[in-house]
């Protein structure tokens, strides 16, 4: 820029004495960067004679190397201290931006900034115009500061919005967690209430079980005592009945003798009648008269000549577990179990020791024993080992060991034959010979799987 151009810029038409131009050092870095970049261009392409002596050695440097902090600092010092170098840079700026320079020179820098010119470009032209562009430089600085403030405000608003969003999200999470915690506390309270109710119910049931067990023990003791008394009474009455029968027979013979021609002694006839009445009362007390109701002519009906097998329930077979349960529930029935024949059946416990076989069979018979009048398991005594043959009761189940010279088969058949024909007998065995011999005596027979399958029956 020539001196005349600078004077025109300083004292142009309509321009009064403005504020002193800002120093390049006073401008923010981004506003002075364009002016310094123009100075680098002049350094590389301009007349070397206008360059400060300190910068002439950098004329041949590449642009990238010129932008080091040391060279930039030397360029700024040259612009502040060398008027010729500063004038050459001003002239280059004004030549490159003639329209913007005209707006700034005429004081219309605000219009330039409003039209979209950047504060950095306006500041660069303002610096090139010297005092005439001081107001433009100041306006550019203010515009840059406003833009920076707006950017800071926008960043702050964005940060505030982000914080608010995070806080809202955190609040939402806190609300969800609070609701979850409340629900968990309610569930825990309900669980605790349910646990307390369950504990009270458990204690009540335990107390009831204890009461029932006590009552059951008392009932068993009372039943055992009553059974013992009844057995003793039956034995006593049986002995008395036998005596009375003998006496009645003797009196009957005497009565027949007295009825022969020659007359009957009235006193003796009265004594015979009294004894007959006593015998009738004794038969009624022991229940014999109810079982043997007098028939025509005062004679008791004949006892059945042969035992009859029990009927098979409808829809069942003789070897069905349900059939065995039904037969075992028959009043007065005797159930005889062929011990080792059942335990050594393929469905039994033949792989266990003899002692285990006996224990398992007794346990299997408990359910059946609770239904029947009497249940007896017969084992071959020869297979017991050192134990002597005997009879015992295990949990309500009778157990018999035969003599060493007698088989369980013979013992079972003998027991069936010894029972009166009026008593039903059930034999549990898969031995065909035992079944045939027992059936010939009127016993009901059922194979071993019926007893072994009781766990699956109703």
Q: Domain segments of the chain: what residues? A: 3-152, 321-456
Q: What is the pLDDT of residue 452?
A: 94
Residuewise pLDDT in 10s, the chain (458 residues): 444 344 433 333 333 444 444 567 667 767 788 888 888 898 888 788 888 888 888 888 888 888 888 888 888 888 888 888 888 888 888 888 888 888 888 888 888 888 888 888 888 887 888 787 778 788 888 777 787 788 778 888 888 888 888 988 889 898 899 888 898 899 979 988 888 998 999 999 898 989 889 888 988 988 788 788 867 787 776 666 666 666 656 655 554 454 444 444 444 544 544 464 456 556 545 555 455 544 555 555 555 678 999 999 999 999 999 999 999 999 999 999 999 999 999 999 999 999 999 999 999 998 788 877 789 999 998 555 544 444 555 567 899 999 888 999 999 999 999 999 999 999 999 999 999 999 999 999 999 999 999 876 65
Q: What is the pLDDT of residue 341?
A: 96
Q: What is the pLDDT of residue 19?
A: 46
Instruction: Give the distance, in angstroms, between the CA of residue 138 and the centroid of all CA atoms in the same chain.
Output: 78
Give the whole-angstrom CA distance, residue 451 versus residue 446.
8
Q: What is the pLDDT of residue 426?
A: 96
Q: Is residue 37 classed exposed, middle or buried when 0-12, 13-18 and 19+ CB atoms within 10 A define those classes?
A: middle
Which residue, among 39, 104, 109, has the nearest Cα to 71 in the 3D structure? 39
| CATH assignment of 321-456, among 3.10.20, 3.30.70, 3.30.530, 3.40.50 | 3.40.50
Please count the other Cβ atoms lying within 10 Å of the Cβ belonging to residue 396.
Answer: 13
**Residue 380 · residue 409 · CB < 8 Å:** no
Q: What is the pLDDT of residue 337?
A: 97
Whole-model pTM: value is 0.37
Please count the other Cβ atoms lying within 10 Å of the Cβ belonging to residue 135.
Answer: 19
Question: What is the DSSP code (8-state) at residue 184?
Answer: H
Q: What is the pLDDT of residue 283?
A: 56
Q: What is the pLDDT of residue 247?
A: 61
Please count the other Cβ atoms lying within 10 Å of the Cβ belonging to residue 229.
Answer: 10
Give the list of residues 6+ apart from residue 381 with CB closer than 8 angstroms, or none.
388, 389, 401, 402, 403, 404, 406
Q: What is the pLDDT of residue 359?
A: 93
**Residue 291 · residue 426 · CB < 8 Å:** no
Give the whole-angstrom CA distance, residue 382 versus residue 157.
105
Q: Is the dihedral of CA 371, 376, 379, 380 positive or negative?
A: negative
Q: What is the pLDDT of residue 395?
A: 60
Q: What is the pLDDT of residue 368?
A: 86
Q: What is the pLDDT of residue 306?
A: 86
């Amino acid at each position: 820029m020539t001196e005349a151009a600078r004077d025109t810029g300083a004292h142009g038409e309509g321009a009064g004495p403005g504020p002193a131009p800002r120093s390049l050092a006073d401008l923010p870095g981004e506003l002075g960067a364009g002016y310094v970049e123009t100075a680098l261009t002049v350094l590389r392409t301009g007349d070397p004679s206008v360059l400060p002596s300190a910068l002439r050695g950098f004329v041949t440097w590449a642009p990238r190397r010129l932008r080091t902090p040391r060279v930039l600092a030397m360029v700024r010092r040259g612009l502040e201290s060398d008027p010729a170098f500063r004038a050459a840079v001003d002239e280059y700026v004004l030549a490159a931006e003639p329209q913007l320079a005209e707006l700034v020179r005429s004081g219309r820098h605000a219009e330039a900034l409003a039209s979209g010119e950047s504060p950095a470009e306006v500041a660069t032209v303002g610096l090139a115009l010297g005092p005439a562009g001081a107001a433009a430089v100041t306006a550019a600085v203010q515009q840059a500061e406003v833009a920076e403030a707006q950017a800071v405000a926008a960043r702050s608003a964005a940060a505030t919005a982000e914080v608010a969003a995070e806080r809202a999200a955190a609040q939402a999470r806190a609300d969800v967690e609070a609701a979850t915690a409340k629900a968990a506390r309610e569930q825990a309270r309900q669980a605790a209430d349910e646990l307390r109710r369950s504990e009270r119910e458990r204690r009540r049931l335990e107390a009831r079980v204890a009461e029932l067990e006590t009552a059951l023990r008392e009932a068993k003791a009372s039943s055992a005592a009553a059974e013992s008394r009844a057995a003793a009474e039956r034995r006593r009455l049986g002995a008395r009945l036998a005596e009375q029968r003998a006496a009645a027979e003797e009196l009957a013979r005497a009565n027949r003798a007295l009825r022969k021609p020659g007359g009957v002694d009235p006193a003796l006839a009265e004594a015979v009648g009294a004894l007959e009445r006593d015998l009738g009362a004794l038969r009624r007390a022991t229940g014999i008269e109810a079982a043997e109701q007098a028939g025509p002519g005062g004679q008791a009906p004949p006892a059945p000549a042969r035992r009859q097998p029990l009927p098979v329930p409808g829809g069942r077979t003789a070897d069905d577990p349900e059939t065995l349960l039904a037969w075992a529930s028959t009043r007065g029935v005797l159930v005889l179990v062929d011990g080792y024949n059942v335990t050594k059946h393929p469905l039994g416990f033949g792989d266990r020791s003899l002692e285990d076989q006996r224990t398992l069979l007794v346990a299997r018979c408990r359910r059946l024993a609770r239904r029947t009048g009497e249940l007896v398991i017969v084992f071959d005594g020869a297979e017991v080992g050192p134990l002597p043959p005997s009879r015992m009761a295990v949990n309500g189940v009778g157990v018999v060991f035969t003599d060493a010279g007698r088989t369980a088969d013979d013992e079972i058949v003998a027991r069936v034959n010894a029972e009166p024909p009026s008593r039903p007998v059930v034999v549990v065995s898969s031995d065909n010979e035992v079944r045939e011999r027992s059936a010939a005596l009127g016993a009901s027979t059922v194979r071993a799987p019926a007893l072994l399958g009781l766990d699956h029956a109703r």
